[in-house]
Chains A and B, each alone.
Chain A
Amino acid sequence: MEFVVDAWDPGYGSSTSDAGLSDSSRPVDASCEVPEAEWKVVNPDSGVAEPEAVTFVDGVRRIDARLWLKQSNDNDDNSRTQNEPNQFHELGICASVAAGSVRCTSTEAKIETVLVERGLHTAAKSADSIKLFPELGDIGTYELRQLDRHDEADSSPNELGQDEVIYLSVHNHMSELEHKLAKQLTEPGLVIFDGPLGRRDAPNGAGYIKTQHVQYLSPRLQPVVASLSPGQRTPIFQIGGAWSNWSWYMKLPSNGSQADHPMAGVVRIELPGLGDASCAAERADIITRVLPRFASESYKDSRAPQNLYPIGGLERELRHRLGDGRLIDRALRRSAA
């Protein structure tokens, strides 16, 4: 029996989705750099000028507490029976999110900006922001992020449940903060966002996707991805839809493992769908040449090599900046009392 052990810590799953990749719902055009028939691995042009600095942007989130907010049921009593009390509890989530950037030059990786926000995500009507340790001054407040009331009765099976709506709201909060932070970046240089680019269209930005959930390439082109060697990339392809992105796969060097499965160390990069294909291909070359330097080693990072060193370091710092969870728990419990 031949087998290889996945490089990632099993707790994180695999860099390619366990259940196989789902097909992309967005249209993909794979023949923008080279015709699909001529697809083969690309060795990036070694002549390209590398940027002075690379800035990595990432965010983290943490659920700090689940709250049950007491609500009174005065107006909406037609659906309730007489026996039911006129009060009920609504779910709320206290979550802290942080976003930060780390700017890497040839001599220094410096965490430049860190933003931390806290939110109280709930659909409860009578909810209010919660201040932590109000006696100590302004050390943190869970700002109310009101969600739409979700009625279980008329939810269709495809719709999200109340819990999922709330968790999505937390995720959106983090994304918002990342956007906010991205707008504060004024230094020139390449900016790598952790995760899909989405609608972010900063011309010097790129999205870095380390876990592959979606299959963008047709089965005919997939062997090209599997045959990548470290430092090589696929030709670029365009993902269309409501907004468009340039994208390609590249392989990071995975140190130390003799036998790897074909997708080990493979990541997908996204660029905003600006400019023409040749311009995007040039940037693809630059990024493909720049990133291997930041690839982590398996004994230092449980998601090596895809979890890049600067991002790993930034996430550690961001989690730290979220504040001590137990302390916050204590503060919330005290506020509740």
Chain B
Amino acid sequence: MGRAAVAIGCFAAKSTELGLHSSRFSGMAASASDLPVNDSLRADQSYVGQVIGVDDATPLEFWVAVAENRTLQLDDVVALDRRLPDGQVVKIFGVVSQVRARHEGASFQSDVFLISEGVLPGQISEAALIQPTRFEPEVLLPPLPGTPVRLAEDIEREIALSFDTVERRLPAGMSRSREPVFLDLDFIDGTKGAHINISGISGVATKTSYATFLLYSMFHSGALGADAANTKALIFNVKGEDLLFLDHENSSLDDDARAGYQSLGLTAGPFRDVGILAPPRKGDPSATPATGSRSVGVAPFFWTIADFCQQQLMPFLFADAEDERQQYTIVVQSVTAQLAQLPTTDEGAVKLGDSLVRTFGQLVDAIEEKLVPADPDEAADQRWTGRAVGTGTINAFIRRLFKARPHMEHLIRADIADARKHALDLDSHQVTVVDIHSLHDRAKRFVVGVVLRQAFKAKEDSGVAKPLQFVVLDELNKYAPRDSSSPIKEILLDVAERGRSLGIVLIGAQQTASEVERRVVANSAIRVVGRLDPAEARRDEYGFLPAVARQRATILKPGSMYMAQPRLPVPLLVEFPFPSWATRPAEAKRSTAGKAKVAGNGAANGGHDGELADDPFAGLAP
């Protein structure tokens, strides 16, 4: 029976000016009444169309012709029924992944002009490609052509997106029709899986914003239950100063965004318990934290010389990709072992021979002395150099050590009173932000590696997975690159592979997943993609995105992400509300500014409430 009959009289015709009396015949007007089935369907508000018969319908993909005066847009959720021979009804649910419209009855491109001039008859036909998400019960049959399709609403939508089977729901954003989208917490907290991986171009993919949104949802949605209070998050601020104002309400938050939070069952607001740690200013003897726009509520962090030696942190200085293949790692190991044996003082200094080493500079000099004796005839101490190591190798080590010196001096020191109190404390706040954006790459790797090791070790020692420790780290490609190994990468791999059972959850992000160690990405149960570079989007790492979604990922706007979770065979497009915490000084509300408690010992830094410098990154925030 094919297409529905076309109803007559859609446009009013004026009487003709043919100069003749218009003839009206008494014959009945043609109508669609020969298809009574379609009439009753049209009366149903949720009816949107019928399965097409000229394109193959499969259980993995099928096309639906959109009925007149109805629309289907990308990401709409639909449902339909198929009756089996035994009378059982299989409900098929799916998501619209592509929509198309075309002229039927036209064979040339230029026919469009003829059709719109009213010369050639042509019909506009719209169709939507559906990717099934669920069959209930699971009988994997294709939907039959002609089957009516309806919009899945309320409970049907929940079933379609498998939300009905999720016990602990984590609000993860909204669909484009502003319905909530949930993540299954079981796949985050280690019960069935762990870790979240986010990819996307910097600046427009809003990776960090989404990561912090998920954290906010985690802490404030009640999904974690009683554990929420003790769950901790460690965030590395690698770019700009976006994350230094998490504890400030966002003054530019509008009612629309507030409503967005509300629809997800969240209350818009800042993070409640935030500690902010920043490296000390270079050359400042009092170790004032080096943050640009925020001076209040920021504690400095650094390691004493004694920590550096005893905790064997030296290898983290040599985490460059090219370093690992060099000979001098033998020297690194020997020196590290020797440093660990040095006696320490209460101020955090170490004694090396007769001298007291209080600064990184002194340490470097002392090590050089040990490796390269002043008298050229004297042999170097093999306990320090390692056995049978040539001078070239030793020199290579010393060269790198000296290169590191200007970048590390302010981070490794024992020249400050109570230096030990500045040890990194990840437990005193719910959210600890470690600001490393101003550090040199070498120092960044050092800090990330050492802090991660500390967090990992603390979890390992505690022996229980709950409460969880979240770690947010952007630029994973720098810390866990695909093609080389380093001490930091080893730790990240440990987190990725053992973190699930230890209760340490990595929310990792990177511009390009193709450059990150496969095992780190593969171990993430939840994959999220923001705007992607077109060349990147074609790579295998994004195989979880169907072809159309990959194409679309290259034009996603800030605040929209594709989210793939194990429960659903189709990634969902989610939008998350504008951050309700400030992402730059201009957004920080003065009235609430400065409430943050200072991490560590709360070093005084002479700032005033609300003293916020102009934001140099204003243009970067979404």
Contact = CB atoms under 8 A, between A and B. Distances in A.
B363 to A, nearest CB: 84
Interface in A289-337: 293-294, 300, 309-310, 312-314, 316-317, 320-321
Contacts of A189: 13, 16, 18
A204 B23 contact: yes
A109 B122 contact: yes
Contacts of A63: none
B119 interface: yes
Given A53-B13, A186-B25, A317-B105, A204 B119 contact: no
A282 B16 CA distance: 14
A310 B18 contact: no
Contact of A113 (B2, B30, B114, B123): B30
B120 A108 contact: no
Contact of A188 (B8, B16, B115, B120): B16
A184 B11 contact: no
Interface in B1-23: 1-2, 5-6, 8-11, 13-23
Contacts of B6: 110-114
A27 interface: no
A13 B30 CA distance: 36
B121 interface: yes
B25 A185 contact: yes
Interface in B377-413: none
A112 B30 contact: yes
A286 B18 contact: yes
B13 A184 contact: no
B120 A109 contact: yes
A197 to B, nearest CB: 14
Contacts of B20: 203-204, 275, 279, 283
B27 A183 contact: yes
B146 to A, nearest CB: 12
Contacts of A111: 6, 121, 123
A223 interface: no
Interface string A265-283: 0000000000100010011
Contacts of A312: 120
A184 B17 contact: no
Interface string B434-467: 0000000000000000000000000000000000
Interface in B103-131: 105, 107-108, 111, 114-123
Interface residues of A, number: 49
A107 B118 contact: yes
A316 B111 CA distance: 14
Nearest to B105: A313
Interface centre among B6, B105, B120, B123 (most CB of A within 10 A): B120
Interface in B467-500: none
A139 interface: yes
Contacts of B116: 107-108
B84 interface: no
Contacts of B17: 49-52
A283 B21 CA distance: 13
B2 A321 contact: yes
Nearest to A137: B1
B108 A300 contact: yes
A279 B121 contact: no
A241 to B, nearest CB: 23
A110 B16 contact: no
B28 interface: yes
Given A184-B25, A186-B24, A105 B118 contact: yes
21 contacts: A50-B17, A51-B18, A52-B13, A106-B118, A107-B116, A107-B117, A109-B115, A109-B119, A109-B120, A112-B30, A183-B25, A183-B26, A184-B30, A185-B27, A187-B8, A188-B22, A188-B23, A189-B13, A283-B20, A293-B119, A300-B107
Interface of A: 49-53, 102, 104-115, 139, 180, 182-190, 202-204, 275, 279, 282-283, 286, 293-294, 300, 309-310, 312-314, 316-317, 320-321
Given A189-B13, A203-B23, 12 more contacts: A51-B18, A105-B118, A108-B11, A108-B118, A110-B10, A111-B123, A113-B30, A186-B27, A282-B19, A283-B18, A314-B121, A317-B105
